Structure 1
Amino acid sequence: MATIVKTPSATWKAVIRKTGWPTTAKTFRTKRDAEDWSRRTEDEMVRGAYIQRAGADRLTVADALTRYLAEITPSKRPSSQVSDRQRSAILTKHLGKYSLAAVTPEVAAKFRDVRLAGEDRKDDIGGPVPRSNDTVRLDLALLGHLFTIAIKEWGIGLPANPVMNIRRPTPAPGRNRRLSAGEEAKLLKAVALHSNPMLRWIVSIALETGMRSSEITGLRRMQVDLDRRIVRLLETKNTTPRTVPLSKDAVEIFREAITHPVRPIDTDLIFFGEPGRDGKRRPYNFNPVWLNIKREQGLADVRFHDMRHEAVSRFVEAGFSDQEVSAISGHKSMQMLKRYTHLRAEDLVARMDEAALRHRGQVREA
């Protein structure tokens, strides 16, 4: 039986001592509430379903996120750390005052719907600013991981992760943007006219190799072996190192970049920026210039990642197997790889004609 006593502050404290369970206590405003809680808790202990929720009742989402950023985020990649801090601010704004125990699936679902509808942000004329499905999916991913860590590693007593019991927004369909020959020529001509040759080198290497922008700009000289015509990528999006083969054109681009006479001696970055306030050089941030050039050329809808899409699609069109393409691009999932390998319809038409001619020839010979 629970022990229920009246405290000096006129509240009622229930204390449960049961063999095999830690001593559990909770304070209530009325004696009846204390008795009801005691009966429910003892019943859960008998059934083996009791979860000590005191920590979850006291720990707010804001405090949990602060601990998460201090303990979990530093183990992630730099780009993920930035994303965690940004999304933590959003979660704190919406859910920061809730205790972990108070975040039910209904609360998480409401947060999802508010973000999707844009009800938490207004435009210049007071209208809502909806967020994309992918943005909200990432918000929920961080919230869900926070609860997973709290339950599994911090020992916070919760019956379940509330984010696991709600619908996630449908992922956006993969982009199917291919560059036409004319668009590619315009872009390459425009970037070649820019005062900094690194922009041309970066765009050309993306088209030749299918590497991501972060993989290219983070390259150091020791990673590029021009004799063997390979690039060793040590840090990739999926955290698995890979070796990228280089075409003859890519080798010449890298040779030009590495041997450029303007190269400073205080960095081994191939594509370097100006020294920061701390005196350190970081990778060249080409994005502002890239955005301006796209707009000037009437190609604002082209993204730099489309260079990777184009390169990987060309590998497929050249007859590379899925395994060979994934070895170059670093895609682990064949399903994900298919998002980047959209064959041109006109090329398929030509191959259909070739197949029909071969078939007719075989029929005549028979």
Structure 2
Amino acid sequence: MATIFKTDAGNYKALVRKSGWPTTTKTFRTSRDAKDWARRIEDEMVRGVYIQRSGAERMTLEMALKRYLTEISPTKKPTTQRAEATKAQQLISHLGKYSMAALSAELIASYRDKRLASVTSRGKTTSNNTVRLELALLSHLFTVAIQEWGLGLSFNPVLNIRKPSAGQGRDRRLSAEEERCLLKAVNDHSNPMLGWIVRIALETGMRSSEITSLRRHQVDMKKRVARLSDTKNDSARTVPLSKWATETFEAALNNPIRPIDCDLVFFGEPGKDGKRRAYNFNKTWGVLKKKLGMADLRFHDLRHEAVSRLVEGGLSDQEVSAISGHKSMQMLKRYTHLRAEDLVGKLDMLTREH
């Protein structure tokens, strides 16, 4: 049964009580609005479809994202935590004042379009993938709010909008001359660890973080494997080492300047707290590639190069995925870009067979 009464502030408060349901109240400017709302709530209770929305109406997106970053993000990898914090700031700056209940598919679609048309600090339009990841965070926030927080949301509005296309995967490959120049430059660098890391990336297809986080006990020189426990997809894997990769690891493990108490294969200088962390070569890499005229080369492209070479070398998709750690063949396909000129000889061989 609904009760409508006027408050001291001159508004109208509707109170709905029904056996088996929580007491529900809401304040309105007019008596008519209060009565209409009360009738709708009573009708939903009778039909058994009522959802208490007060939590979603009180919680803004900014509040929800801050709770997400406090409760959910810490369960993920540090790199993911930092990335989600950045994405959250974009969402908050555009939609943060809206309540979770007010965020509709139309509002989120408008956010998508504005972000795609926006220009970054580097003078480029925001990439499709950046916006896709921001929407993915927002979608997971709604999922958590519905399933775990009990905010009274009936559906996830992000599921009702078009997502930006993923776009084409990068196909940056190293030419023979580029590789020669790159290896010469890193080998000539004052810190030999830079050259070792680049060669290992080209030989194994390991990610930068996977290489720099390696501990000495993870590299088995007798069996010629590197055992990775902390990977991007959380699946441990064992990477076989080619002869060149084995020789490179041998040099790295025998680094004469390694501190006796440091177990990292690739180590940096002590921090303010006196602890040594993984060798951070990002700044050096950026300066070096620009000097070589390869400003568009990303370190991750070396992984593309290595995986493509494994495919070109005749390894099966399953063998390559076991080395690279790709869980799906579709993702593996995006990372393998065969050179058309390398396939010419194989086509000629097929022609001679016929």
TM-score, normalized by the shorter chain, greater than 0.5: yes
Kindly indicate whether the alpha-carbon contact (under 8 Å) linking 1:104 and 1:162 is maintained by their aligned counterparts in 2: yes
Q: Distance in 2 between matches of 1:266 and 1:172?
A: 46
Partner of 2:314: 319
SS of the residue 2:277 aligns to: coil
Q: 1:42 and 1:269 mapped to 2: Cα distance?
A: 65
Deviation at 1:129, TM superposition (A): 5.4
Number of the residue aligned with 2:111 = 111
One-letter amino acid of the counterpart of residue 95, structure 2? L
Query: Which residue of the partner structure matches residue 46 of structure 1?
Result: 46
- Per the alignment, in what secondary structure is the counterpart of residue 14 of structure 1? strand
Tell me the distance in 1 between the aligned counterparts of 2:61 and 2:178.
48
Residue pair 1:108, 1:163 contacting (<8 A) in 2 also: yes
**1:354 aligned residue (305, 327, 349):** 349
- State the partner residue of 2:73: 73
Partner of 2:59: 59
Aligned length: 354
DSSP-derived class of the 1:182 partner = helix
Give how far 1:122 is off: 7.5
1:204 to 191, 194, 199: 199
The alignment-based identity, stated in percent, is 64
| Correspondence for 2:182 among 184, 187, 196 | 187
Tell me which residue corresponds to 2:97. Answer: 97
Corresponding residue SS for 1:136 = helix
- 2:167 is the counterpart of 1:172: yes
Tell me the distance in 2 between the aligned counterparts of 1:163 and 1:276: 42
How far apart, in 1, do the equivalents of 2:201 and 2:47 lie?
A: 61
How far, CA to CA, are the matches of 1:131 and 1:47 in structure 2? 46
Q: Establish whether residue 153 from structure 1 lines up as the match of residue 148 from structure 2.
A: yes
Letter of the aligned partner of 1:299 in structure 2? M
Instruction: Judge conservation of contact 1:55–1:157 (CA < 8 Å) in 2.
Output: yes
Which letter does structure 2 place at the counterpart of 1:275? P
Cα distance per residue 1:55-81 (max 9 Å; x no partner): 001011111111111100110001001
Contact 1:13 1:26 in 2 (8 A): yes
The Cα of 1:49 is off from its aligned counterpart by: 2.4
User: Offset of 1:20 from its aligned partner?
Assistant: 2.5
The aligned residue for residue 301 of structure 1 is 296
Quote the offset at 1:254 in angstroms.
Answer: 0.5
Q: Please name the residue that 1:362 is paired with.
A: none
Per-residue deviation, 1:110: 1.3
Q: Secondary structure at the match of 1:34?
A: helix
Distance in 2 (alpha carbons) for counterparts of 1:289 and 1:199: 9
Task: Determine helix, strand or coil for the equivalent of 1:232.
Answer: strand
What is aligned with 2:325? Answer: 330
Cα distance between partner residues in 1 of 2:86 and 2:317: 36
Say if 1:188 and 1:200, in contact at 8 Å, map to a contact too: yes
- Aligned-CA RMSD value: 1.4
- Alpha-carbon separation, structure 1, partners of 2:287 and 2:236: 33
Q: In the alignment, is residue 139 of structure 1 matched against residue 143 of structure 2?
A: no
Rounded to whole Å, the distance in 2 between the matches of 1:77 and 1:122 is: 27
SS in 2 for 1:156: coil
Q: Aligned partners of 1:55 and 1:173: how far apart in 2?
A: 41
Query: 1:275-294 CA deviation, whole Å, 9 max, x = no partner?
Result: 11111111111111111111
Q: Residue 26 of structure 2: SS of its match in structure 1?
A: strand
Q: Secondary structure at the match of 2:101?
A: helix
Question: How far 1:266 moved relative to its partner?
Answer: 3.0
Structure 1's consecutive aligned runs of 4 or more residues displaced over 3 angstroms after TM superposition are none
Distance 1:282 1:178 in 2: 31
Supply the AA of the counterpart residue of 2:311.
Answer: V
**C-alpha distance in 2, partners of 1:169/1:311?**
29
TM normalised by structure 1 equals 0.94
Q: What letter corresponds to residue 57 of structure 2 in structure 1? A: D
Deviation at 1:337, TM superposition (A): 0.5
Q: What amino acid sits opposite 2:331 in the alignment?
A: M
Structure 1, residues 130-173: CA drift from partner, whole Å, max 9, x if none? 21111111111111111111111100111211111111111120
- 2:125: which partner in 1? 130
For residues 180 and 130 of structure 1, what CA distance do their matches in structure 2 show? 29
CA–CA distance in 2 between the matches of 1:37 and 1:257?
Answer: 71
SS where residue 286 of structure 2 aligns? Answer: helix
Change over 3 Å in CA distance of 1:314–1:67 after alignment to 2 = same
Q: What does the per-residue CA deviation read over 1:171-211, in whole Å, with 9 as the maximum and x for residues that have no partner?
A: 12001111111111110001111100000000000001000
Question: Does the Cα contact within 8 Å between 1:117 and 1:129 map onto a contact in 2?
Answer: no
Amino acid across the alignment from 1:237: K
User: Counterpart amino acid of 2:64?
Assistant: A
Structure 1 counterpart SS, 2:319 = helix
| Partner of residue 9, structure 1 | 9
- Following superposition, the deviation at residue 47 of structure 1 comes to 2.5
Q: Which moved more, 1:95-104 or 1:325-334?
A: 95-104
Q: What is the SS of the residue equivalent to 2:269? A: coil
- SS for the counterpart of 1:100 is coil
